[in-house]
Amino acid sequence: MKAMVLEAFHPVKDKPLKLMDQPVPDPGPGEILLWIEYCGVCHTDLHIVEGELKDARLPIIPGHQVAGIVVKAGEGAGERISVGRKAGAAWLFAACGFCEFCLSGQENLCRMARFTGFHVHGGYAEYMIVPEKFAYRIPEDFTNLHAAPLLCAGIIGYRALRLSGAAAGSRLGLYGFGASAHIAIQVAKRWGCEVYVFSRNEKHRQHARELGATWAGDYKDEPPSKHLSSVVFAPAGEVALNALENTDRGGTVALAGITMTPLPEIDYEKHLYWERTLQTVSNATRVDGEELLKLASEIPIKTTTKLFALKEANEALLELKEGRIKGAAVLKIGK
């Protein structure tokens, strides 16, 4: 099979991913084999490729927003998602299932968790293995193209919204408007939120307005009113402080990135006092994914995508880094 393989960390401008021939993996007990049709391109992939997440196993095939078809099932697998059905894989590849976190519904915090395209080979390839109990059934009313961005951008955005306390009738701030935010705003609007969007990119601000934002401006612009919930998608520490300044008393700022530049010094009275909360978002659970996919069908969510060929993965990551993607970048892999 063809796959884009990372053998050493380098800036994405150096095109570190190499197109290689790899053996098609064979599913073991409890596993399914996916023929991959599409794989979303995520900021986490960029952090892995450039070495900001240094625990990645090398060589590695990145990619964790995987949408395809089940073509083979290992022993004991294939009942939940049968051969021939659409299925997807997300960032959480597996968790232990017996630690205090797994048993309390917090498998996203499991110390033995493994992540797709980081610890195990991911979706920048024609085939990949997924534990069946960690795979997702893709709704029949979604194409795999439009489902792919839901499997990380959508899931983490959904969890971040919940942890921010966003609710019907509340004012919500979204900081950064890329793949996650363009899905999150559709969920927030469904919930009845009034949404304020902050982005340095005017094209992204216009996209936010098209999707129903009440207001859109630059990070340092003052919004018409403070909000009670905020989600920071931009991986920049100074933006978190902008969000705290714009968050009202008793409000919560959720940081949705897997990595972020250092937070500047926080002024206690200016940024945190009046019972404001700064909340991180770490990975996501299978329940988050299942709830998001169900909601995506009900709304229905419309993902905005830009397609790249598998061999163009480096170019897709570079465009993502430079803020040139409207919505989500997606690799078209299957024929």
Terminal-to-terminal C-alpha distance of the chain:
13
Per-residue pLDDT of the chain (335 residues; tens, 9 = 90+): 999 999 999 999 999 999 999 999 999 999 999 999 999 999 999 999 999 987 899 999 999 999 999 999 999 999 999 999 999 999 999 999 999 999 999 999 999 999 999 999 999 999 999 999 999 999 988 999 999 999 999 999 999 999 999 998 899 999 999 999 999 999 999 999 999 999 999 999 999 999 999 999 999 899 999 999 999 999 999 999 999 999 999 999 999 999 999 999 999 999 999 999 999 999 999 999 999 999 999 999 999 999 999 999 999 999 999 999 999 999 999 87
Tokens read off for 196: 């304020």
Distance between CA 263 and CA 307 in Å, rounded?
34
In which element (H, E) is residue 227 found? strand 227-232
Dihedral, CA of residue 79, residue 331, residue 95 and residue 187, to nearest 10: -90
Domains and CATH numbers, the chain: 2-150+300-332 (3.90.180.10), 155-280 (3.40.50.720)
Task: Give pairs for 304-307: CB < 8 Å, separation 24+.
Answer: 304/182, 304/207, 304/328, 305/145, 305/146, 305/148, 305/149, 305/329, 305/330, 306/330, 307/145, 307/331, 307/332
Dihedral, CA of residue 218, residue 222, residue 227 and residue 229, to nearest 10: 30
Cβ count near 110 (within 10 Å): 21
Q: What is the pTM of this model?
A: 0.96
